[in-house]
Amino acid sequence: MKYIIKESQYVYLLENLEKKKRLFTKVLGEDLINSIREITSPNQLPIEFLKSIGTSIIQRYIDVYGPLYYFVLDGEPFLYKERISPSGEEYEMYINNKGKSFLEGEITEILGLSDMGLNFSDVIDTFHNEGEPLNESVEKNKKFLTKLMGVDFTGNIEQVTSTYDVPMEFDNNISPAAINYYLNKFGPMYLFELDGIKYLYQDQDHGDFFIDDYGFYYNDEIPEQLGIDDLGLRFSDIINIFFNEEDDVITEDENKELRNKVQRRLGTIDQYIGEMDPNDVCDYWTKGEVDYYVVSSMQNVVEKICDEIGSYDLYDEIYEYISNQGYKTYFRDFFFDTIDNYCPEKTNNWERIV
């Protein structure tokens, strides 16, 4: 989904970034935070990692999945990477300098992040991805706040500018005249649902104001229930992030234009296929990693098309479109044909980090 960034959201992102930094520094400690380093080359790592894992394997992971991240926990150095499974689900990979891998959740439980519903990727996003596009920052702030609150407000917030926008449940407990008074004095209200109860919210001069469909009034109770008060946030910050009346919807005409753009660039895919080197499969992949190879190849092709179009806004739609054209099957067939006929003598000699 595409988002138009409003000035108020931009200001919020800058302020919230510093609040998240303070939160993670308090939870994890300055020693761990200061030890985090982005790794784009095996040469940046202590030699113990190169001996236990292997320089070529580390380089392969960097080439395929992007930068790794190094950190020290209780005196023990680790490598971290967020990865995507063949089914499209994200998971976290950790390995220490002795080559021992750790299951997802083990490290976050030690750090106490899992108690807040957070992953180590939230820490990385906060301290190492400050230069990313704003629309990506909005999505990551939504992800962060959703985990923190335990509630996803995406699509669950409606703007109220008239008494006609208020559900009938409120009519018995708050009069239309009162609603009009609030709207005229403080501006729009916002309707949302939390734990099966509907609320009207308004940012008033004295702070956050809530009323539920039973007629009960609230001020600080809702931010406390959501846990956002610990970050020094108000519910208006949630509105700024989760409510956006300018969300883009892909229409039928836009979808047709998308297909035309991709079809005009099928030569890019053909060129990529023509340059595929069997040695890359032999040198960097094992037979059990076919799904990862297919995903990596698809991602490379989609990125090339997005670069030519000049936008990554339709990345997911392009990925789905070329997948429907059978390219996943082609990459899979190329992989197995190479493994079985070009480099069979190497298939039993590779190792894989899990």
* Domain-located, residue 209: yes
Q: In the block, which residue shows the tokens 């500018």?
A: 161
Q: Other C-beta atoms within 10 Å of 53: how many?
A: 22
188 lies in the same domain as 256 = no
225 lies in the same domain as 272 = no
Nearest Cα residue to 69 out of 21, 127, 11, 118: 127
191 lies in the same domain as 264 = no
Nearest Cα residue to 226 out of 152, 139, 157: 152
216 lies in the same domain as 273 = no
pTM of the model: 0.40
Q: Helix (H, G, I), strand (E, B), or coil: what is residue 258?
A: helix
- DSSP state letters, 86-108: TTS-EEEEEEETTS-EE-TTHHH
Q: Which of 127, 149, 171 is the last residue of a domain?
A: 149
- 133-179 pLDDT, tens digit per residue, is 334 455 666 776 777 788 888 888 888 888 888 888 888 888 888 88
Q: Residue 242 — very low, low, confident or very high, per pLDDT cuts 50/70/90? A: confident
Long-range CB contacts (< 8 A, 24+ apart) of 313-320? 313/2, 314/250, 314/258, 317/250, 317/255, 317/258, 318/258, 318/262
Q: Residue 344 — very low, low, confident or very high, per pLDDT cuts 50/70/90? A: low
Whether 78 contacts 94, CB under 8 Å: yes
* Domain-located, residue 190: yes
* Domain-located, residue 351: no
92 lies in the same domain as 17 = yes
Whether 110 contacts 73, CB under 8 Å: yes
Specify the number of domains making up the chain.
3
292 lies in the same domain as 217 = no
**Domain carrying residue 71:** 7-149
* Domain-located, residue 247: no
- 263-301 pLDDT, tens digit per residue, is 666 677 777 888 888 888 888 888 788 888 888 888 888
